[in-house]
């Protein structure tokens, strides 16, 4: 095991000022039905909203980079292809840098680097091992080599030093920081058999603390029901500021999510953060009606051998917790549900200084994730 420590470095909270955001243009036929047309339109909405207050980098393969340039140029300034990606003149809000880099899919939160920083403002990209959420045990597709190489390649492209964390398996969506030494994770994910089976819970926690400047890890029992990432924390709970958390919730005791969320709430109510504060937990209700795969959706997928397939009626892991905090806004998923407006109201109250961007998210959810899953923060 490549154990390492990064003295003086910490993982910032997502609500802190940051330089920009990384996304990957969707293309994979087994994730994005009907040639990813609807998904790309949804990604455009996300990218445009983020670019209002920070720079955006978009990775795209040779088969889709021209499409990305054409679609994005309609709403944002796309940095010229021959521009130096490390030139500060091309790294401000309102613009997007397209980088020609091949990946296996479009989950930037999970395959991109986790960027840590120190008090002097130095930044470092941690390149975790990525194995498609479970490798040979329960991974979602059989080949993930391009995804695993993306963190280091992107970091190099924008001038970030890289810390190689292989073979420690971790995805960005499985950790959430308050920026002050507290980390949220789920036992269901980090202790799953397909990630680091030779490490104990204590050893995993020790490595997280050494790498991320973490002083305390909060181990929620569960995430969201039927979340194929083994229940990533970013779909279930998130810090809105130090000491305050939003938690995915339902009052419907017949919904299997109720038992998951209740176990998480019971745990959080007994815990404190790294600074000794009792946690304030805000309940963020999931959609009142489960979001499911429809028969007509299945017609658009093309699955490769060994890839996880969709089924009609399959419950998708819809959650409003999967929002992205940009410098100026909250990109909040919407599902055409009666609880959409309630989510907008709560996030407006929790982030009065930011603009709420309600984003129709079903076309992203059909790919297996949500708004937070397709974004990766690059701290200032």
Catalytic (active-site) positions: 373
Distance CA 375, CA 189 (A): 19
Pinpoint the alpha helices (H) of 117-215: 135-138, 145-157, 187-190, 201-212
Can you point out the beta strands (E) in 298-338?
324-325, 329-334
Residues in the chain, total: 380
| 101 in Cβ contact with 59 (< 8 Å) | yes
C-alpha dist (Å) from residue 125 to 11, 165, 377, 380: 10, 10, 11, 13
| Strands, sheet with 77-78, edge to edge from the N-terminal-most edge strand | 77-78, 95-100, 55-60, 18-24, 376-379
| 320 in Cβ contact with 353 (< 8 Å) | no
Distance CA 289, CA 357 (A): 22
Q: What is the DSSP letter of 139?
A: -
- Pick from 63, 163, 54, 50: nearest CA to 113: 163
Q: What is the DSSP letter of 129?
A: E
36 contacts: CB under 8 Å, gap ≥ 6: 26, 27, 28, 29, 64
List the structure tokens of 262.
């209740």
Distance CA 374, CA 323 (A): 10
Q: Any bridge partners for residue 161, and if so which?
A: 124
List the structure tokens of 8.
């003086």
Pinpoint the alpha helices (H) of 22-173: 37-51, 65-72, 108-111, 135-138, 145-157
| 368 in Cβ contact with 140 (< 8 Å) | yes
List the structure tokens of 11.
């993982």
- Tokens 């490595």, located at residue: 207
């Amino acid at each position: 095991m490549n154990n390492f420590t990064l003295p003086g470095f910490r993982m910032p909270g997502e609500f802190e000022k940051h330089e920009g955001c990384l996304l990957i243009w969707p293309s994979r036929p087994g994730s994005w039905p009907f040639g990813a047309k609807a998904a790309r339109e949804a990604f455009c909405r996300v990218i445009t909203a983020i670019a209002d207050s920070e720079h955006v980098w978009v990775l795209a393969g040779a088969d889709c980079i021209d499409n990305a340039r054409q679609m994005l140029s309609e709403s944002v300034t796309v940095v010229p292809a021959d521009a130096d990606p490390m030139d500060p003149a091309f790294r401000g809000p309102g613009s997007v840098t397209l980088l020609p880099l091949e990946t296996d899919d479009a989950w930037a939160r999970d395959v991109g680097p986790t960027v840590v920083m120190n008090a002097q403002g130095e930044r470092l990209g941690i390149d975790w091992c990525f194995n498609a959420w479970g490798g040979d045990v329960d991974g979602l597709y059989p080949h993930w080599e391009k995804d695993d190489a993306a963190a280091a390649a992107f970091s190099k492209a924008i001038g970030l030093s890289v810390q190689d964390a292989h073979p420690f398996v971790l995805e960005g969506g499985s950790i959430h920081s308050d920026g002050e030494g507290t980390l949220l994770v789920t036992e269901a994910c980090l202790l799953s058999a397909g990630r680091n089976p030779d490490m104990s819970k204590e050893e995993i926690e020790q490595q997280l603390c050494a790498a991320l400047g973490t002083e305390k890890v909060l181990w929620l029992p569960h995430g969201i029901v039927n979340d194929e990432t083994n229940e990533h924390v970013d779909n279930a709970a998130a810090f809105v500021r130090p000491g305050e958390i939003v938690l995915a919730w339902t009052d419907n005791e017949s919904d299997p999510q109720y038992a998951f969320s209740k176990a998480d709430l019971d745990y959080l109510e007994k815990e404190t953060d790294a600074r000794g504060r009792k946690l304030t937990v805000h309940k963020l209700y999931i959609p009142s009606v489960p979001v499911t795969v429809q028969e007509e959706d299945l017609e658009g997928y093309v699955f490769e051998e060994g890839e996880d397939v969709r089924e009609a009626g399959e419950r998708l892991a819809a959650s409003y917790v999967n929002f992205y905090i940009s410098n100026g806004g909250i990109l909040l998923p919407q599902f055409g549900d009666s609880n959409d407006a309630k989510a907008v109201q709560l996030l407006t109250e929790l982030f009065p200084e930011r603009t709420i961007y309600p984003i129709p998210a079903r076309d992203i959810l059909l790919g297996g994730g949500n708004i937070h899953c397709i974004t990766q923060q690059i701290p200032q």
